[in-house]
A and B are shown apart, each in its own frame.
Chain A
Amino acid sequence: NAGVTQTPKFQVLKTGQSMTLQCAQDMNHNSMYWYRQDPGMGLRLIYYSASEGTTDKGEVPNGYNVSRLNKREFSLRLESAAPSQTSVYFCASSEQGWNQPQHFGDGTRLSIL
């Protein structure tokens, strides 16, 4: 049971390049999330998907798009990468409901030059 799997683990991009971060979960969870974590800061929510077919903006959605491809997969796309998007990106999933804990992947470390 892999839980939440993120690919790639590391990536370096040049400013203006595009990239899609992949996330898949095998826990049959309805809800999925994308966060970013910058040095010395807590995680900030970028986008989330309450269930297959729905997506919503979080705190810091600018510069990103998401796709909930199916129940298992939730991707995050940077259309034109900027140095300010250098960060560690975490995907998470949970059951739907008021008190369901979120389970996280190990992150994608992204550097934009």
Chain B
Amino acid sequence: DAKTTQPPSMDCAEGRAANLPCNHSTISGNEYVYWYRQIHSQGPQYIIHGLKNNETNEMASLIITEDRKSSTLILPHATLRDTAVYYCIVRVAGRSNFGNEKLTFGTGTRLTIIP
């Protein structure tokens, strides 16, 4: 299983872009990078995922390096509601014939948005 390394905490000023790094140097060629976040007392929320191309959706952008050994989640205009723990996850396939998916959550990055 490819493991991920994230800084334990980060601060970002409200209105600025929040850039959250993740290292996954042992990632395999067919493994996706996923980002989830968990706001206090709530269930994890899916943000974005990608394989090797950069991805963007209404919540965030995901930049994956060409060698795929690291990635950055970008929240373009952070708000106080973005304060949460952010998890970078490399997707591990279970029984591939049934497409079972297991998410292995680490301890993530606690992002605090400063007013």
Residues of chain A touching chain B, judged by Cβ–Cβ distance below 8 Å, are 4, 31, 33, 35, 40-45, 48, 50-51, 54, 56, 58, 90, 92, 94, 96-107
B-to-A contact residues, CB < 8 Å? 30, 32, 34, 41-46, 49, 51, 87, 91, 93-96, 98-108
Q: Classify the secondary structure of B's interface with A.
A: loop
Number of A-B pairs whose CB atoms are under 8 Å? 78
Indicate the member of B41, B44, B87, B91 with the most A CB atoms within 10 Å: B44
Expressed in whole angstroms, the Cα–Cα distance for A44 and B89 within the complex equals 13
Chain A contact residues, majority secondary structure: loop
Contact assessment for B49 and A101 in the assembled complex, using a CB-CB cutoff below 8 Å: yes
Report whether B101 and A98 are in contact in the complex, using a CB–CB cutoff of 8 Å.
yes
A106 and chain B: residue at smallest CB distance: B43
